[in-house]
């Protein structure tokens, strides 16, 4: 059934309503009827497993061999000709097919009935081996998702790490499944996404400007005898110099990677440059031999004043507001993780739209041309432009809690909405 489902979920079979007919026949809700009474018995063995419906390319070939006397090679030529969907090619192939069926005692009416089924189907059909291979993968992934959901979602997120739209979609799915996805953490995260008990932990490698070697250095230091980092200043003091540059540390702060040990991101952002400069200066002096012989007073191999300037401390300042905090998080991770500007507005969005943005993206190539759809989301960017003729237009990016999409607005539509196009505004978009 999985194999058949994969083969049926394609334009050819769906245009013929084969996917619905298959389900109805399987469940006894529709009578199994032959393509034509004359071919019912000859094709019984070929079509029984799919409830009288043609589902696979091999069934097309078998029908040609049984009904028209085609060889295996000639049947494959017919299959490929049908796949081209060119009228002149099909017209050439129709003549020998009809002749072959006539030679085998079938009427022209039967030949036409079979041809009318084979032609529209074959152009988009899967072969059975192809469907079975995909079906096996589908079974494996469904099994893993059901029995090892946290590990499965961690692997899925890592596989989509470079695609923010897919990552957002999978994060939404994880949350729907009741799996908590935690922000990256300098004390807990590895490079990739990881399953930790019943939660998924963001990898440090998902943060912009954070390379694999720097992550390895951070992990190696916290795995040593001194253990996890106690606070932000302890982190700055202990990590190797190549993991101690302003851009990297700033990215860690904005992504929330220090939240478990120093939760005020704005305070860390305020002090990080001075802290880094102090430690870098001290470590360079140590490397040059300019250090205090009595600095290591307890014999643990560490300079007790490794921050250099003892006056440096994390200030007591008010945290960034939610909007700023989330915008920085999105800048570093490509999406919102700890929260979302649309949190609590799911029911509002559901009432404003026909489908989610992710659902539309998934279905777009199967919708008839110029189908009107209604979406809703938060405006995250407005790119106002001018055409060569001097007419204003815009590319507006909107996102919901799963994905984002760009919408182009021209002419009177743009003029009517131009004044209302502002970042962080929740909107309904209607278009084709």
Interval 362-386: pLDDT, tens: 888 888 888 899 999 999 889 999 9
Residue range 46-64: mean pLDDT, rounded: 91
Please tell me the predicted confidence (pLDDT) of residue 345.
86
Residue range 143-158: mean pLDDT, rounded: 96
At a CB cut-off of 8 Å and minimum separation 6, what does 31 contact?
25
User: With bands split at pLDDT 50, 70 and 90, how would you rate the model's confidence at 17?
Assistant: confident
* Residue ranges of domains in the chain, CATH in brackets: 2-129 (no CATH), 148-333 (no CATH), 346-431 (2.40.50.140)
Mean pLDDT for all residues in the chain: 88
291 close to 303: Cβ distance less than 8 angstroms: yes
Q: Structure pTM? A: 0.73
Residue range 390-397: mean pLDDT, rounded: 93
Distance CA 256, CA 260 (A): 9
Distance CA 225, CA 39 (A): 79
Rounded to 10°, the helix 87-103/57-68 angle is 40
Distance, CA of 161 to chain centre: 9
Please tell me the predicted confidence (pLDDT) of residue 169.
80
pLDDT at 415 > cutoff 80: yes
Residue range 354-366: mean pLDDT, rounded: 86
pLDDT digits over 192-208, tens only?
999 999 999 999 999 99
Please tell me the predicted confidence (pLDDT) of residue 299.
46
At a CB cut-off of 8 Å and minimum separation 6, what does 397 contact?
379, 380, 381, 382, 383, 404, 405, 406, 407
Q: Which of 58-62, 64-68, 174-178, 305-309 has the largest mean confidence?
A: 64-68
Count Cβ neighbours within 10 Å for each residue of 295-320 and write b for 16 or more, e otherwise. Answer: eeeeeeeebeebbbeeebebeeeeeb
Rounded to 10°, the helix 57-68/108-122 angle is 160
User: With bands split at pLDDT 50, 70 and 90, how would you rate the model's confidence at 219?
Assistant: very high
Is 43 in a helix, a strand, or coil?
Answer: coil
pLDDT at 298 > cutoff 80: no
First to last CA, the chain: 35
User: With bands split at pLDDT 50, 70 and 90, how would you rate the model's confidence at 307?
Assistant: low
Please tell me the predicted confidence (pLDDT) of residue 175.
82
8-state DSSP, 244:
-
Which helix (H) or strand (E) segment holds residue 159: the answer is helix 149-159
Residues of the chain with pLDDT > 90: what percent? Answer: 59
pLDDT digits over 114-124, tens only?
998 887 776 67
Q: Which residue in this structure is represented by tokens 């919901």?
A: 400
Distance CA 322, CA 299 (A): 45
- Reported residue count of the chain is 432
Beta bridge partners of 408: 395
> What φ, ψ does residue 334 adopt, rounded to 5°?
85, -5
- Least confident range from 20-34, 72-86, 140-154, 286-300: namely 286-300
User: With bands split at pLDDT 50, 70 and 90, how would you rate the model's confidence at 297?
Assistant: very low
Report the relative pairing of strands 199-201 and 194-196 from DSSP bridges.
antiparallel
Please tell me the predicted confidence (pLDDT) of residue 293.
47
Please tell me the predicted confidence (pLDDT) of residue 93.
83
Please tell me the predicted confidence (pLDDT) of residue 340.
85
Please tell me the predicted confidence (pLDDT) of residue 302.
52
Please tell me the predicted confidence (pLDDT) of residue 173.
86
Is 264 in a helix, a strand, or coil?
Answer: coil
User: With bands split at pLDDT 50, 70 and 90, how would you rate the model's confidence at 311?
Assistant: low
Residue range 234-242: mean pLDDT, rounded: 91
Q: Which of 78-87, 256-265, 279-288 has the largest mean confidence?
A: 256-265
Distance CA 231, CA 235 (A): 6
Residue range 318-322: mean pLDDT, rounded: 94
DSSP 100-138: HHHHTT--HHHHHHHHHHHHHHHTTPBPHHHHHHHHHHH
User: With bands split at pLDDT 50, 70 and 90, how would you rate the model's confidence at 243?
Assistant: confident
């Amino acid at each position: 059934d999985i194999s058949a489902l994969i083969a049926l979920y394609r334009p050819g079979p769906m245009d013929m309503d084969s996917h619905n007919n298959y389900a109805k026949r399987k469940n006894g809700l529709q009578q199994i009827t032959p393509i034509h009474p004359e071919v019912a018995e000859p094709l019984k063995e070929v079509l029984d497993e799919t409830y009288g419906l043609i589902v696979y390319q091999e069934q097309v070939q078998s029908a040609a061999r049984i009904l028209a006397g085609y060889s295996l090679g000639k049947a494959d030529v017919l299959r490929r000709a049908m796949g081209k969907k060119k009228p002149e090619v099909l017209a050439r192939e129709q003549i020998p097919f009809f002749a072959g069926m006539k030679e085998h005692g079938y009427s022209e009416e039967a030949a036409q009935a079979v041809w009318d089924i084979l032609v529209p189907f074959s152009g988009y059909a899967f072969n059975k081996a192809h469907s079975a291979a995909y079906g096996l993968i589908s079974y494996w992934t469904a099994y893993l998702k059901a029995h090892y959901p946290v590990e499965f979602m961690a692997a899925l997120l890592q596989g989509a790490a470079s695609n923010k739209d897919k990552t957002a979609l999978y994060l939404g799915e994880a949350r729907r499944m009741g799996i908590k996805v935690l922000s990256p953490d300098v004390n807990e995260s590895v490079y990739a996404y990881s399953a930790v008990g019943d939660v998924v932990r963001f990898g440090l490698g998902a943060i912009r400007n954070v390379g694999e070697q720097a992550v390895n250095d951070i992990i190696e230091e916290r795995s040593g005898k001194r253990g996890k980092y106690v606070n932000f200043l302890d982190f700055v003091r202990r990590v190797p110099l190549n993991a101690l540059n302003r851009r990297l540390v700033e990215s860690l702060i904005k992504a929330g990677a220090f939240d478990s040990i120093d939760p005020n991101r704005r305070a860390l952002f305020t002090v990080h440059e001075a802290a880094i400069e102090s430690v870098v200066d001290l470590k360079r002096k140590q490397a040059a031999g300019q250090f205090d012989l009595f600095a290591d007073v307890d014999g643990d191999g560490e300079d007790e004043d490794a921050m250099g300037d003892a006056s440096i401390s994390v200030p007591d300042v008010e945290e960034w507001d939610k909007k700023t905090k989330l915008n920085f998080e999105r800048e570093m991770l490509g999406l919102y993780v700890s929260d979302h500007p649309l949190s609590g507005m799911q029911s509002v969005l559901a009432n404003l739209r026909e489908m989610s943005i992710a659902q539309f993206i998934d279905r777009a190539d199967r919708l008839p041309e110029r189908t009107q759809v209604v979406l809703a989301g938060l405006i995250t960017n407005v790119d106002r432009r001018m055409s060569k003729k001097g007419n204003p237009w815009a590319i507006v990016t909107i996102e919901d809690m799963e994905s984002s999409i760009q919408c182009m607005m021209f002419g009177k539509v743009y003029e009517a909405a131009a004044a209302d196009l502002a970042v962080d505004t929740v909107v309904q978009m209607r278009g084709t």
